[in-house]
Amino acid sequence: MSEESATWRVTQPPGAARKRTCRHLERARPVTAVAEGCSRCLAPGGSWVNLLACLECGAVGCCDSSPGRHAYEHFAVTGHPLARTLKAGEAWGWCYADAVFLEQG
Ligand SMILES: [Zn+2]
Ligand SMILES: [Zn+2]
Ligand SMILES: [Zn+2]
């Protein structure tokens, strides 16, 4: 069995004056998203804009543009700062603690 790579690095915005860093990258694991939607929004009437999956435990929550902001809530409750988008065709991640974007590589 080969081990799936879960290597992330901080995205450096072009022209940034200071190098962005994240102290949590070694906590990222090749997790599988545990739900098809935000478990906190699945009640009737719930809606979200985009979904994020926690890179430590796979918990799925809605993004900061969504009314519930449950991905942020997951960080606030568990202290898991890393999440990746579940949007098809996109592969970015985000660290809530450092407020930096992440990319795979
Ligand atoms: Zn970080
Ligand atoms: Zn988590
Ligand atoms: Zn939600």
Q: Is residue 12 part of a domain?
A: no
Domain residue limits at 52 = 25-104
Give me the pLDDT at residue 44, please.
Answer: 66
CA 2 – ligand 2 centroid, Å: 24
Give me the pLDDT at residue 1, please.
Answer: 43
Q: Is residue 13 part of a domain?
A: no
Give me the pLDDT at residue 92, please.
Answer: 95
Q: Is residue 86 part of a domain?
A: yes
For residue 86, how many other CB atoms are within 10 A of its CB?
Answer: 18
CA 52 – ligand 1 centroid, Å: 16
CATH of the domain at 94: 3.30.40.10
Q: What is the pTM of this model?
A: 0.88
Give me the pLDDT at residue 4, please.
Answer: 53
Q: Is residue 42 part of a domain?
A: yes
CA 57 – ligand 1 centroid, Å: 16
Using DSSP bridges, classify how beta strands 82-85 and 100-104 pair: parallel, antiparallel or unpaired.
unpaired
Q: Is residue 11 part of a domain?
A: no
CA 70 – ligand 3 centroid, Å: 4
**Residue ranges for the chain with pLDDT beneath 50:** 1-3
Measured CA to CA in angstroms, residue 77 lies from 18, 63, 70, 73, 74 at distances of 30, 15, 10, 6, 5
For 50-104, the three-class secondary structure string (H helix, E strand, C coil) is: CEEEECCCCCEEECCCCCCCHHHHHHHHHCCCEEEECCCCCCCEEECCCCEEEEE
Q: Is residue 18 part of a domain?
A: no
Ligand nearest to the CA of 55: 2
Q: Is residue 59 part of a domain?
A: yes
The total number of structural domains that make up the chain: 1
CA 82 – ligand 3 centroid, Å: 16
